[in-house]
Chains A and B, each alone.
Chain A
Amino acid sequence: MEYIRNAFASIIENKGRSFLTMLGIIIGISSVITILAIGNGMKQSVGGELNDMQAGGITIQINAKKTDKYLTGAQVRMIGDEVPEVYGASPTISGYGDAVARYKIPANFKGGNEYLFHDQKNVLSDGRYFNENEAESAAAVAVLSQSEAVLLFGSTDAVGKSFEAIIGGRSRELTVTGVLKSEERDITSAYRYNSGRDKSYQSIRPYVPYTLMTQGFGLAGENVVSYQIFPLPNEQDPASLRARRVTENMMGLRGQGAVNVQSFASMLDSFEKILDVVTLVVAFIAAISLIVGGIGVMNIMTVSVTERTREIGIRKALGARTGSILLQFLLESAMITLIGGLIGMMAGYGLTFIVSKFMSFPPQIRLEDVALVVAISSSIGLFFGIYPAFRAAKMNPIEALRYE
């Protein structure tokens, strides 16, 4: 206790120098914190999207760089009929805009046909899906999840209610035919958002007929360049191979590599590779600055020990044991790096907060990161403080007392 007070007093006494010493640690720790927070936020939001993909369909895309041919909605339906390993196929035409009811929420409308609902994750809680007739006739209908219903209407009870959909300046009144189940915590967080207690970014993804996107909002003309197939259980690979072949035959594109399958595994793989590289680079920078910071601490502590030779002599003459002096200086260097680490943590959180403003995902700050920072920074201080502390502890009291 006494030692901690002493160490603190000594750091305060040399504020300027202590702070400069801490800089390396501050930079190191703040980059660790920033990358952890951003990485976790990114994993969560991208991971969530990838999960959707795994549970849902496999996306098949026509590469516009290699061909200017395209499919129609009817052709997509035909492909679904010709591939035995799938329930069916649905065009996917997305449009970004807003949905307005009690609240106005940014929305990414996902247009498709009725096979869109062969998604293993989609469980109806209320109402019904839109049917083939509606899908093909540009019916002004939509299917939402419970949490989206809360965001839009303030309650999960949304069947039969209508809202205004705005895409690219065009506006249509859509009626909700069905509501899909959401996780309890998503519903809770939607309520929190509506009550103003949660300021995190929220958007919705209503399902609508693809013909509504093309005819109603004038998106993509009649052209379908990407569609999803909904494979039977455990038939993902044969289904996507066959769908690709059928598409190539239908469009006369055999052997041109113009039809791509975006499988879940390949996307997850490339996403994780990117994240790994980013993490590695930042971890490398952080490690370098922590080591540089640690050497700085060792340097300053060595200078400090030399400057305080006489003090050490006095303490020894008065009965300080080797261990007491060792402890005194180890605690001092650990405290410098710990304070540096805590400042770095705050700087890191500040930085994360700023970065998250420019991105669509919320940063994740976790308690174990705080514990990690405390552990890393104080062990750096302990490790790099060993040499100067030993120098202090091993001093000969007579010589130390004579030191001017």
Chain B
Amino acid sequence: MEKLVDVIDVCKIYNPGENEVRALDHVSLSINTGEFVAIIGQSGSGKSTLMNMLGCLDTPTSGTYMLHGMDVSHMTDNEQSDVRNREIGFIFQGFNLIQSLTAQENVELPLIYRGVSRKERERLAVEALIRVGLGKRMDHKPTEMSGGQQQRVAIARAIAQAPPILLADEPTGNLDSGSSKEIIGIIKNLYKEGRTVILITHDPGIARQAKRIVTISDGKIQSDIINPDADV
């Protein structure tokens, strides 16, 4: 299996000096193509910091992060933007859709920044929206949709350009249990289709659905186990 994510001895230190916070403390972690990994930890354990790093939204204070064979730990803002656009599909807790745009326009956003032609963009966006069961809601704006539907738009946006990694940060955190099940179902299906999924959560019930569970606490990896009970 190809090594997709390779985090080597990474530290992230906030406020260096007197009252510094070691949000990530010598973390090493490898993830192969096609894996379904849950990263679980309590609030303040460093999950979001790790997710920002994995998603190339932030760079480590020390250590190396190899993504797809590239060293992405010392990149300029614009280089990071390009890597994010190409490699990562984000699914956020708060959906993070642009309110003034329709579902389809939201899904087209990363494709615009990739320079995909208008026609091709439309095709990919429609395809992705159908894929998450929103074929009939493409012209709706976020305010006209339920939380579950909004999160499905966000998933469509994440998969439209088929990035190597799907990075989901508490994707069901803002949803009722019914919608949560639906969303987790879609994510599991994407995994079954061969996508690499990294799911960050504080909810053991959700983490249990993944094949591999990484537990993080106080910025350190506590355990990294293959989950025998995964129902996928």
Cβ–Cβ contact B96 & A314, under 8 A: yes
Cβ–Cβ contact A324 & B113, under 8 A: yes
A118 to B202, CA, bound (A): 104
The DSSP consensus for interface residues of chain A is helix
- Chain B contacts for A323, CB-based, 8 A: 78
Binding stretch for chain A, among B26-34, B50-58, B132-140, B176-184: B50-58
For window 76-112 of chain B, which residues contact chain A by CB distance below 8 Å?
77-78, 81-82, 84-86, 90, 92, 96-100, 109-110, 112
- The residue of chain B having its C-beta at the shortest distance from the C-beta of A319 within the complex is B85
Q: Known interface pairs A2-B112, A319-B114. Does A311 touch B98 (Cβ–Cβ under 8 Å)?
A: yes
A317 at interface, CB cutoff 8 A? yes
Cβ–Cβ contact B113 & A319, under 8 A: yes
Cβ–Cβ contact A317 & B100, under 8 A: no
Q: Known interface pairs A10-B100, A311-B98. Does A322 touch B78 (Cβ–Cβ under 8 Å)?
A: yes
Q: State how many angstroms separate the Cβ of B216 from the closest Cβ of chain A.
A: 18
- Chain B contacts for A319, CB-based, 8 A: 81-82, 84-86, 110, 113-114
Cβ–Cβ contact A398 & B113, under 8 A: no
Count of chain B residues with a beta carbon within 8 Å of a chain A beta carbon:
25
A324 to B84, CA, bound (A): 15
A313 to B96, CA, bound (A): 9
A367 at interface, CB cutoff 8 A? no
- Chain A contacts for B82, CB-based, 8 A: 319, 321
For window 132-159 of chain A, which residues contact chain B by CB distance below 8 Å?
none
A397 to B57, CA, bound (A): 7
Q: Known interface pairs A2-B112, A13-B100. Does A317 touch B90 (Cβ–Cβ under 8 Å)?
A: yes
Cβ–Cβ contact B96 & A316, under 8 A: no
A375 at interface, CB cutoff 8 A? no
A183 to B58, CA, bound (A): 76
Cβ–Cβ contact A317 & B96, under 8 A: yes
Cβ–Cβ contact A315 & B52, under 8 A: no
Enumerate chain B interface residues (CB-CB to A < 8 A): 52, 55, 57-58, 77-78, 81-82, 84-86, 90, 92, 96-100, 109-110, 112-114, 118, 157
9 contacts between A and B (CB under 8 A): A311-B98, A311-B100, A314-B96, A315-B113, A316-B81, A318-B90, A318-B109, A319-B114, A321-B77
